[in-house]
């Protein structure tokens, strides 16, 4: 295990480029099982979750070549193996994304119940219902989902929730199913769009991308190709938060500003201003963070929701920003009942937070945080705690940083050249 030792209170300055979208990279890797021709993926983030997924694919018979930094070539050819490595599958949530491709390729999938962040109940029901609609027979045991399908056939379906990964599983399975599939109440997040565009680039026929209604016409086979994984809007939001709480000026390159509309609305509630410069975003220095109250001086609410609303994965970052903004806000986390529990670590650093219940917290901001000995419970909370440590007075130690490594590539090597002081040490 490793830890970060962080010197707080330093200004940052310079240019940073976000990595490829983790939540697009993982389903795209799973989708490589749908073709036996080589696929080259560029801007692939070199993070723990991606490395585990590549190991799983190799165990299923795929060849994986790292052509250069952040570029991999994958080819799945030969015997079809329907059972991903159980131990590796337990390490990441994304292992559930192998169900759709394996059903389409092998006619069977034996999926160990996946791992991932412990942020509350994370339903699998929508995945199973969608795949059953396409013709899969599914048996559920204490540790595994066993699926089989003689033939997948397209069907009209309405998802009982706009689940990102369930939508992705259904789309991948439907790409090689017989006939047409219509998915209503589909998720439309940028990473779902990226998966659909990747599939179309190798021969799939998907329409309605970026909407909540997807139409998939099944094809007999898919070909190989090349695809560039777009930037991660969650990482962009993290860097915006970093610049704001440290009063720094950062230029974020290749930031895909069209993904930032809802994020900008929430940032404005705590007084953050951005400058859009083509495909880049600049965060000006010395911004005085101050809560903008609603009409009648009502306390504003910062809440998450399905795309195109504010993404749940940025709520932890927003909480740290709110602790540094003069005024009071209500944080309302609608999706996961354990995500807000990391606020006890911010309280130990001097934050004024009232946790009302598992989904709501009141933040009274404007006071300086102080360094502390803390531990990262999940990817997004881990990055939020790193932001808190960087703006705090004094030194902080962050344990369990493998959680941060799951979503952010070599973060200390990217922030230290900008003026941060983050040291990675072995945690005894």
- The last residue of one of the domains, among 228, 246, 271, is 228
Q: Tell me the average pLDDT across 147-174.
A: 96
Q: What is the pLDDT of residue 115?
A: 62
Give pLDDT tens digits for 266-288. 999 999 999 999 999 999 999 99
Both 174 and 260 in one domain: the answer is no
CA distance 103 to 89: 17
Q: What is the pLDDT of residue 156?
A: 98
Both 172 and 63 in one domain: the answer is yes
Q: What is the pLDDT of residue 122?
A: 56
Please give the positions annotated as active site: 117
Give pLDDT tens digits for 286-296. 999 999 999 99
Task: Please count the residues of the chain.
Answer: 428
Where residue 13 sits, what CATH number does that domain have?
3.65.10.10
Both 185 and 244 in one domain: the answer is no
Assigned token pair, 385:
């705690």
CA distance 16 to 318: 20
- Of 222, 186, 226, 227, residue with least CA distance to 104: 222
Asked whether the whole model's pTM tops 0.75, one would answer yes
Query: Are 403 and 421 spatial neighbours (Cβ–Cβ below 8 Å)?
Result: no
Q: Tell me the average pLDDT across 299-308.
A: 95
- 112-121, 126-135, 307-316, 411-420: least confidently modelled range: 112-121
In this predicted structure, the answer to whether residue 240 has a pLDDT above a threshold of 60 is yes
In this predicted structure, the answer to whether residue 119 has a pLDDT above a threshold of 50 is no
- The last residue of one of the domains, among 202, 228, 254, is 228
In this predicted structure, the answer to whether residue 121 has a pLDDT above a threshold of 80 is no
Edge-to-edge order in the sheet of strand 108-112: 108-112, 144-148, 137-140
Percentage of residues in the chain with pLDDT exceeding 70?
98
User: How does the average pLDDT of the chain come out, rounded?
Assistant: 95
In this predicted structure, the answer to whether residue 113 has a pLDDT above a threshold of 50 is yes
Assigned token pair, 322:
């709110």
| Parent domain of 208 | 22-228
CA distance 377 to 360: 18
């Amino acid at each position: 295990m490793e830890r970060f030792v962080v010197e707080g209170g330093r200004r940052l300055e310079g240019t940073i480029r976000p990595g490829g979208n983790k939540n697009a990279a993982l389903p795209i890797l799973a989708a490589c099982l749908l073709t036996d021709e080589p696929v080259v993926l560029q801007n692939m983030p070199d993070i723990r979750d991606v490395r585990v997924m590549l190991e799983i694919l190799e165990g299923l018979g795929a060849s994986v070549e790292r052509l250069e930094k952040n570029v991999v070539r994958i080819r799945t050819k030969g015997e079809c193996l329907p059972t991903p490595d159980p131990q590796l599958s337990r390490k990441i949530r994304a292992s559930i994304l192998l169900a759709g491709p394996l059903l389409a390729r092998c006619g069977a999938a034996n999926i160990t119940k996946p791992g991932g962040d412990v942020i509350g109940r994370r339903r699998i029901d929508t995945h199973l219902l969608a795949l059953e609609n396409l013709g899969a027979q599914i048996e559920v045991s204490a540790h595994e989902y066993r699926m089989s399908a003689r033939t997948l056939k397209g069907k009209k379906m309405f998802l009982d929730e706009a689940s990102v990964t369930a939508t992705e599983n259904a789309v991948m399975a439907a790409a090689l199913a017989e006939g047409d599939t219509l998915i209503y109440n589909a998720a439309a997040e940028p990473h779902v769009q990226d998966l659909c565009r990747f599939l179309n680039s190798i021969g799939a026929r998907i329409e309605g991308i970026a909407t909540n209604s997807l139409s998939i016409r099944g094809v007999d086979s898919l070909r190989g190709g090349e695809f560039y994984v777009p930037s991660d809007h969650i990482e962009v939001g993290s860097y915006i938060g970093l610049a704001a709480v440290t009063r720094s000026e950062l230029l974020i390159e290749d930031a895909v500003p069209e993904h930032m509309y809802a994020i900008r609305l929430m940032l404005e509630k705590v007084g953050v201003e951005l400058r859009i410069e083509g495909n880049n975003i600049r965060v000006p220095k010395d911004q005085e963070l101050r809560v903008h109250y609603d009409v009648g001086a009502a306390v504003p609410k910062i809440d998450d929701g399905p795309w195109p609303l504010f993404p749940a994965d940025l709520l932890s970052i927003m909480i740290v920003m709110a602790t540094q903004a003069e005024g009071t806000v209500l944080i309302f986390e609608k999706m996961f009942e354990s995500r807000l529990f990391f606020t006890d670590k911010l309280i130990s650093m001097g934050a004024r937070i009232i946790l009302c219940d598992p989904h709501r917290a009141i933040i009274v901001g404007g006071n300086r945080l102080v360094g502390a000995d803390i531990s990262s419970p999940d990817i997004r909370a881990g990055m939020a705690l790193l932001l808190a440590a960087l703006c705090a007075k004094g030194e902080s130690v962050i344990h369990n940083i493998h959680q941060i490594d799951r979503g952010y590539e070599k973060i200390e090597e990217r922030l230290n050249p900008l003026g941060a002081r983050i040291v990675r040490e072995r945690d005894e």
